[in-house]
Structure 1
Amino acid sequence: MTSWLDDFDTRLAELDAAGLTRRRRVVLPAAPAEASSTRLIVDGEILLAFCSNDYLGLAGHPALVDALCAGAREFGVGSGASPLVSGHSAANASLERELAAFVGLPRALYFYAGYGTNIGIVPALVGAGDALHSDALNHACLIDGARLARASIHRYAHADLDALDAALAARPARRQLVITDAVFSMDGDVADLRALLALCERHDALLLIDDAHGFGVLGPQGRGALAAAGLTGTNASRRVLYMATLGKALGVAGAFVAGNDVLIEWLLQKTRSYIFATAAPAALAQSLRASLRLVEADDWRRTHLQALIARLKRGLAGLPWTLTDSPTPIQPLIIGGNREALAVMEGLRERGLWVPAIRPPTVPEGSARLRITLSAAHRDEDVDRLTGALHDIARRA
């Protein structure tokens, strides 16, 4: 008698045949700490990498390393318990206050991971009988949070605010929640947050924004997409919850959600992924506090990053593939087919460059791409090397 467990071999073979098999690689830094996300040893080979979300080049910064070590010496390595038992250290509390002040919102709640944040806070906000409106290109953690909520899900076409307006106006439920990425992770475009908030104001809805890829990069002093839209401080709305991750531009790990005191208190009381998970270690919070100070002070990192983005766009002109219109460090180059994208990725690897091929189901069928990500740790000559290699590959295709 055969078992359904035997099917996994066949199903893995089907993934491979479709060009959808994914592979983990063991990596080591191949450069000084501050450039550790751009030069990596991959399977024993030194590669110039354009695949990290370390947008400001802070992941290996000495100030963060020193703060982490000092925090471990003071607080130990683990937190030992959930935040509502004994895991909420003085360092975590200070980080929450500093994050709230930095993004110009009344209060913040610090989580151990971005994915764990969204899959917890969405079900804490709406449930069965409520309505949830989700952009079609939202990140998986928002999608999974929506599914866990068991609300009625209305998926609107990417950035189609007319469709969202109509869905909200239909008033499928008294409690309505709109969830959106601020910067869409596979396309790099930025949501129109002011227009989204206006719709929520008109239709008595709550707006949850995931700014994983904008926090630290966009807005004055890197305060994020919400600040860039002018919706913080005295312009902050009680209808907005702002979530951002801390393992990308800030170079460490974790996430937070910020908003008015009542909403944050509700999330503290009702978010299962906060209540029942071990708190993030205090040493990480200390490292994040050091990172936050650098993000605020070092405008040159964002200035350099914008110059690199412009240089990349110029260098990619004339290629047979489509570069999306992104103002962010995420610069996707649409190849099309899965195997074609893998072939371009392999061609770059042969030339000492690492740029990942992103394929379905992460992106729609027929839109496999190279997800080029830039960091302030990259140099002008790094970008030129990448664009030159892509032109060479295109000529030989």
Structure 2
Amino acid sequence: MTPSPTLDWLDAAAADRKARHLSRVLRPRTAGEGVIDLASNDYLGLGTHPEVVEGAIAATRRWGAGATGSRLVTGTTTDHQALQAELADFTGHPSALVFSSGYTANLGVVVALSGRGSLIVSDGGSHASLVDACRLSRARVVVVERGDVAAVERALAGRSEERALVVTDSVYSADGDLAPLTALHAACEGYGAVLLVDEAHGLGVRGAGGRGLVDELGLTRHENVVVTATLSKALGAQGGVVLTSERVRDHLVDTARTFIFDTGLAPASVGAARAALAVLRREPQRADRVLEVAEHLAAVTGADRPSSAVVSVILGDAERAYAASQRCAELGLRVGCFRPPSVPEGTARLRLTARADLSDADLSDACGVLTGVLADSRVPA
């Protein structure tokens, strides 16, 4: 392919990223590579669970490889319906609507519940999918500092719009801290707003048996609390879900563009998610094990005591964080490396994710690698 001068600006942009140690590289995994994984979001270890794999296989045999169309045409099967009912029952919500990913669930619900003439107050720690949803909404958007309830109240109190939506993660994805959901809900109640909570990192980890932080705090009974979650983290599958009242669900079916115009979730992912949810119901101790492993990792690395599966080891400099992650990989330990723009400048970090299926021996080996790498002179100070 002949390079086009029209796109020569890409070279300068790439050089700038490389100079700041912000270049990304795709590193394909291979089956059976034998590394200890502290980077994936498979918190409960269900992605390779035999029952979950068999659930995917059985659904594929029953329905085929793809959903064949959008949810409103041919993309809804009886398995989709069953998964929605099971997710709603597990989390304590009246209704559920499954999307093709957590990203599309957030895009769909935020846009459908806002629009021109409404206000969105967005927490500064929100996931990129919520940020993008706000940009697409055509609403007036006010971004507040992470967890700043007073700023949320000021934005709601000073609004001229009739409708308002407050959006936040329940568990902030970069460091695993918990959002002040109870206080945020009180602010929404006081000023007539809806609270949208992304439980991507809360489902399967927080709450009784992994039912999520919203359930743990007793907020599921309020219709003005709408929850989204992903099926690709603790449940080890793929897809997203909105958990809400029946009338909000009906509104989404009629108006959420990422539901109406996107191909439905593949049968294999539906089958896997249903099987994973069944395992979690039977083995609720998996959620407790995740937090136990996270606390152990935090103690070894000097990180703050974790509130979720995520343990954030802040190293500051992007070059140092990248070098540390590479050294871990050389020693058979896969860890996450978060650099700007995923995190603020000067806060590059190793992001460790605890797993319920990590054996005591593997945990000990992982801690040994982390201790050595963080003290390694080859990792820039």
Q: Say yes or no: TM over 0.5.
A: yes
Mapped partners of 2:175, 2:252: distance in 1: 30
Counterpart position of 2:227: 242
Counterpart position of 1:337: 317
Cα 1:269/1:385, change in 2 over 3 Å: same
Q: CA deviation at 1:325?
A: 4.2
Mapped partners of 1:336, 1:48: distance in 2: 24
Mapped partners of 1:388, 1:142: distance in 2: 37
Count of residue correspondences: 374
Q: Which runs of 5+ in 2 are unaligned?
A: none
| Contact residue 186 and residue 330 of structure 1 kept, 8 A | yes
> What SS does the aligned partner of 1:134 have?
strand
| Contact residue 324 and residue 334 of structure 1 kept, 8 A | no
Q: CA deviation at 1:356?
A: 2.3
> What SS does the aligned partner of 2:73 have?
helix
Please tell me whether residue 251 in structure 1 is matched to residue 236 in structure 2. yes
Counterpart position of 2:27: 25
Moved over 6 A (4+): none
Mapped partners of 1:76, 1:316: distance in 2: 46
Read off the aligned partner of 1:59 and give its amino acid letter. Answer: G
Mapped partners of 1:380, 1:120: distance in 2: 41
Mapped partners of 1:240, 1:129: distance in 2: 21
Read off the aligned partner of 1:373 and give its amino acid letter. Answer: T
Mapped partners of 1:341, 1:281: distance in 2: 36
Counterpart position of 1:261: 246
Mapped partners of 2:48, 2:289: distance in 1: 18
Q: How does 1:368-383 map to 2 (within 5 A)?
A: 368-383=348-363
| Contact residue 136 and residue 158 of structure 1 kept, 8 A | yes
Q: CA deviation at 1:252?
A: 0.5
Name the stretch that deviates more: 21-30 or 345-354.
345-354
Name the stretch that deviates more: 356-365 or 115-124.
115-124
Mapped partners of 2:268, 2:37: distance in 1: 28
Counterpart position of 1:37: none
Mapped partners of 1:185, 1:334: distance in 2: 14
TM-score by length of 1: 0.91
TM-score by length of 2: 0.95
> What SS does the aligned partner of 2:54 have?
helix
| Contact residue 301 and residue 313 of structure 2 kept, 8 A | no
> For each residue in 1:203-232, what CA deviation from the matched residue of structure 2 results, as whole angstroms up to 9, or x when unmatched?
000111100011111111211111111122
Counterpart position of 2:166: 178
| Contact residue 221 and residue 297 of structure 1 kept, 8 A | no
> What SS does the aligned partner of 1:110 have?
strand
Q: CA deviation at 1:88?
A: 0.8
Counterpart position of 1:155: 143
Counterpart position of 2:206: 218
Read off the aligned partner of 2:114 and give its amino acid letter. Answer: V
Mapped partners of 1:91, 1:125: distance in 2: 27
Mapped partners of 1:337, 1:89: distance in 2: 49
Percent identical residues = 37
Cα 1:291/1:391, change in 2 over 3 Å: closer
Q: Give the alignment's Cα RMSD to 1 decimal.
A: 1.4
Mapped partners of 1:172, 1:326: distance in 2: 39
Q: Which runs of 5+ in 1 are unaligned?
A: 31-40, 318-322
Q: CA deviation at 1:116?
A: 1.2
Mapped partners of 1:93, 1:4: distance in 2: 48
Counterpart position of 2:268: 283
